[in-house]
Amino acid sequence: MGVNSNKIINYVNTLLNDATIPPEVPNELRDVEGIFEIDHTIRNLRQAIKLVGNGDLSEQLIGKGYLMGTVKSLQATLRNLIWQTKSISEGDFSHRVDFLGEFSDSFNSMARKLQQTISDLNDARALFELFFDTIPDATMIVSSKNLELFNCNQAFADMIGLSKNEILGCSLEKLRIFSDENQLKVFKRAISETDHVMNLSINLGSSEERTIYGLLSTAVIWINNEKYILSVIKNVTELKLLENKLRESEERHRLIADNASDVIWTMDLNGRFTYLSPSVEKFRGYTVEEVMKQSKEELLCPDSLALMEKGLEDAIYYVQNNLPIKVFRGDMEQPCKDGSTVWTDLTVSGIYDKEGQFLGMLGVSRNITDRKKMEEEITRLTEVDRLTGLYNRYKLDAVLKSEIERSRRSDSVFSIILLDIDDFKKVNDGHGHIIGDSVLKEFSEIIKSSIRKNDTAGRWGGEEFMIILPDSDCDGGMVLAEKLRAKINEHKFDAVTHMSASFGVASFEKEISGIELVARADNAMYRAKRTGKNKVCR
């Protein structure tokens, strides 16, 4: 029995205190007398308290007993309080609350203060009418029923060129204050669709038969329980005329831009185009609409994208610090719709108004693909050995210098291989220089097919070749050299059948110069020559 009592106490405690409760009485408690009545009462009480606590006073509370009766009483009290509050919100201050103890005094005090506030507002209304006529913008109040002019200020009368006596009480249709019937329809539609209009462009007429451009803002007001429309009209005629002149000027400039062979564009500091001339389609194959939707990654190839990101970063800095944007000039590579790329000469500058305020960036892109191809061909001719197709001595010197600087800066390693064709003089003397040239070409092909993508191979001079191996130590150089030696030794050359080469390998150390590095490789190569040729030494 003691165990059952504990179970009963624990179950009742769960019903009273836990956020979640079992869906029904547990099987082991079903035989306990009165357990279902307790379970039902607590569940009803929980539901009733939850409803009242959530503000739902419409639900019919189920249950009886002292506690349930108290909750029902609280629900009725709150309903009564809501009814009293609604009466006050509708302007009826005749009711008082006297059934909520100390709260009644606070509530009744609040109601009295609210009643006094409304009285003060009525006094303020008279003051509003006094100031109404001094509003600088044209202001009118019209009936929403028939659009009769209930009131207006002097600025409104002056704007349309009539006296207040001539216009008060007349309908807007009769006054013909709008420039045409369509403008009157715009006004009617605006005030019928919403209770609040902000800066609606509207054209008005005047007794002088000139068009007045205005920005109309309206709000609904109630006078003697009737709906009226309060309208404020800001006269922007001078601004509109200036805007028209600017638009005409802009259209002339846009006509020029649209028909230019170069791509002319404007861009904000977020890298989004605000204008793009149609000539972009000739450049890249994409329409203006397609380019406008492209991300920065789609606009430019990776190396050029990095330049653009840096340029935008600089531009943002200049603008934020009230400095003029420096003119940018550079070559940019852009992807085309057909999978190719186009090179453009890009010039970017800032656009500013008369007050020096930044408006955006102006860019001009000129197609320089042909020029770029010519430059690449010139570079190729100056860097590539014409006979073998490998890099020449000039390019090898430049790469060697660059690798030395990189290794010293990043504490990385690299190595070089020097190789010399064994007994090459015999080939030239015995078979002629044409056969000798053929052997050099075959050597070059073997080297090109054996090195990594980031390795650099070139003709060092005569029958000597150099291979520069970034991020590879001397052991790595020895492995590649041995691989090349075996390949050359096994290769059947077209004219002379068998050839070999001697190799020297050296790796860079911080304390040595480029000349010393090459000398080490050269000494190792000649050691291979002296000790029998067709060898790799370090």
Measured CA to CA, the distance from residue 143 to residue 523 in angstroms comes to: 106
pLDDT band with cut points at 50, 70 and 90 for residue 40: confident
Instruction: State percent of the chain over pLDDT 90.
Output: 37
DSSP 183: H
Measured CA to CA, the distance from residue 292 to residue 295 in angstroms comes to: 8
In a domain, 270, yes or no: yes
Give the pLDDT score at 453: 92
Highest mean pLDDT among 320-329, 375-384, 512-521: 512-521
Based on the domain organization, do 412 and 492 belong to the same domain? Answer: yes
Based on the domain organization, do 358 and 487 belong to the same domain? Answer: no
Which of residues 352, 372, 392 is at a domain's end? 372
Residue (of 441, 266, 461) closest to 348 by Cα position: 266
Answer yes or no: is pLDDT of 259 > 70.
no
331-364 pLDDT, tens per residue? 999 999 999 999 998 899 999 988 888 999 998 8
Least confident of 245-249, 261-265, 445-449, 505-509: 245-249
Q: Is 110 helix (H, G, I), strand (E, B) or coil?
A: helix
The CA-based angle 103-109-111, given to 5 degrees, is 105
- Please report how many Cα atoms fall inside a 13 Å half-sphere around the Cα of residue 264, on the Cβ side: 10
In a domain, 22, yes or no: yes
**pTM higher than 0.85, yes or no?**
no
Based on the domain organization, do 264 and 393 belong to the same domain? Answer: no
Domain holding 451, by residue range, is 384-537
Based on the domain organization, do 397 and 479 belong to the same domain? Answer: yes
In a domain, 98, yes or no: no
Answer yes or no: is pLDDT of 270 > 80.
yes
Answer yes or no: is pLDDT of 430 > 50.
yes
In a domain, 183, yes or no: yes
In a domain, 114, yes or no: no
In a domain, 87, yes or no: no
Based on the domain organization, do 356 and 416 belong to the same domain? Answer: no
Based on the domain organization, do 23 and 143 belong to the same domain? Answer: no
Measured CA to CA, the distance from residue 247 to residue 537 in angstroms comes to: 78
In a domain, 212, yes or no: yes
Measured CA to CA, the distance from residue 385 to residue 296 in angstroms comes to: 38
Based on the domain organization, do 464 and 498 belong to the same domain? Answer: yes
Based on the domain organization, do 236 and 280 belong to the same domain? Answer: no
**The sheet that has 263-267: what strands, in order across it?**
273-276, 263-267, 358-367, 341-352, 328-335
Residue (of 475, 471, 523) closest to 502 by Cα position: 523
Give the pLDDT score at 439: 95
Give the pLDDT score at 516: 96
CATH of the domain at 137: 3.30.450.20
Which of residues 372, 404, 420 is at a domain's end? 372
Based on the domain organization, do 533 and 392 belong to the same domain? Answer: yes
Q: For residues 414-431, b (16+ Cβ closer than 10 Å) or e, as one string?
A: bbbbbbbbbebeebeeee
pLDDT band with cut points at 50, 70 and 90 for residue 97: low
In a domain, 102, yes or no: no
* Interval 493-507 mean pLDDT: 92
Measured CA to CA, the distance from residue 413 to residue 527 in angstroms comes to: 24
Burial bucket for residue 451 (CB in 10 Å: 0-12, 13-18, 19+)? middle
CATH of the domain at 431: 3.30.70.270
**Contact criterion met (CB below 8 Å) for 48 and 68:** yes
Based on the domain organization, do 400 and 449 belong to the same domain? Answer: yes
Cα distances (Å, whole numbers) of residue 99 to 76, 78, 108, 368, 443 = 11, 11, 11, 89, 110
**Contact criterion met (CB below 8 Å) for 496 and 505:** no
Based on the domain organization, do 192 and 145 belong to the same domain? Answer: yes
The total number of structural domains in the chain stands at 4
Which of residues 209, 240, 271 is at a domain's end? 240
Mean model confidence pLDDT for the chain: 85
Based on the domain organization, do 283 and 404 belong to the same domain? Answer: no
Answer yes or no: is pLDDT of 38 > 80.
yes
Answer yes or no: is pLDDT of 256 > 70.
no
Give the pLDDT score at 3: 47
Please tell me which residue, 371 or 98, carries the higher pLDDT value.
371
